[in-house]
């Protein structure tokens, strides 16, 4: 009994189904509930913390002092930078918050002119299996260091003052 006349019913059924889906979607999305999972509040808290720490590490302790962040970059101490960063992040009024981990990257302009990003701290033992990592960044002004230490990338231009981007990936292990 299948003939062309049935096609209209099929099309009508499909159209009705699509209209129902559309109606249901519109109804549900207008009453969507804001839950903790949706707002990524723990991410925001971590991002604020990381951003504060980078800003404070880049603030000298006296008017003629040196920025701790600039010093770590210019002396090529990426691991020490990561340790100092984590020490500031984990500080609390009670016990330290020891579940935090970090990895530091540096974006700089090569002598050839293009931009490269490289990790400057050792990989963390909890590097895999992380979740909800946040990335905090800060532009750092370097004064120019003709003899760049061996841990810094070889193709980083050395003699002129330059601006580099320090990125820190921060997560809870």
As beta bridge partners, residue 141 has 163
Place of tokens 């120019």: 144
Contact 126, 101 (CB under 8 A): yes
Out of 26, 92, 146, 161, the residue judged to bind another protein by CB under 8 A: 92
From 67, 75, 79, 88, residue interacting with another protein (rule: CB under 8 A): 88
Residue 141 binds another protein (CB under 8 A): no
Q: For another protein, which is the closer residue by CB, 8 or 113?
A: 8
Pairing state between β 162-172 and 134-142: antiparallel
What is the x/- site pattern for another protein, positions 59-78, by CB under 8 A? x-xxx-x-------------
**Closer CB to another protein, residue 17 or residue 149?**
17
Taking residue 54's Cβ as centre, other Cβ atoms within 10 Å add up to: 21
What's the rounded Cα separation, in Å, for the pair 141 and 139?
A: 7
Check binding of 40 to another protein (CB under 8 A): no
Report the C-alpha gap between 165 and 54 in whole angstroms: 11
Binding residues for another protein, rule: CB under 8 A, are 1-2, 6-10, 12-14, 16-18, 20-21, 24, 28, 31-36, 39, 41, 44-45, 48-49, 52-53, 55-56, 59, 61-63, 65, 88-89, 91-93
């Amino acid at each position: 009994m299948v003939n062309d006349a049935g096609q209209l019913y099929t099309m009508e059924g499909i159209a009705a189904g699509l209209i129902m889906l559309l109606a249901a979607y519109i109804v549900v999305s207008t009453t969507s509930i804001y839950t903790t999972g949706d707002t990524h509040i723990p991410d925001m808290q971590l991002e604020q913390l990381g951003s504060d720490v980078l800003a404070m590490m880049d603030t000298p302790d006296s008017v003629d002092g040196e920025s701790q962040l600039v010093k770590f970059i210019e002396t090529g101490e990426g691991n020490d930078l990561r340790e100092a960063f984590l020490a500031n992040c984990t500080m609390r009024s009670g016990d330290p918050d020891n579940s935090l981990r970090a990895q530091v990257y540096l974006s700089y302009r090569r002598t050839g002119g293009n931009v490269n990003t490289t990790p400057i701290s050792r990989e963390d033992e909890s590097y895999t299996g992380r979740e909800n990592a946040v990335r905090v960044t800060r532009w750092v002004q370097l004064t120019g260091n003709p003899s760049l230490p061996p841990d810094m990338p070889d193709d980083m231009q050395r003699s002129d003052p330059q601006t580099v981007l320090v990125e820190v990936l921060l997560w809870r292990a």
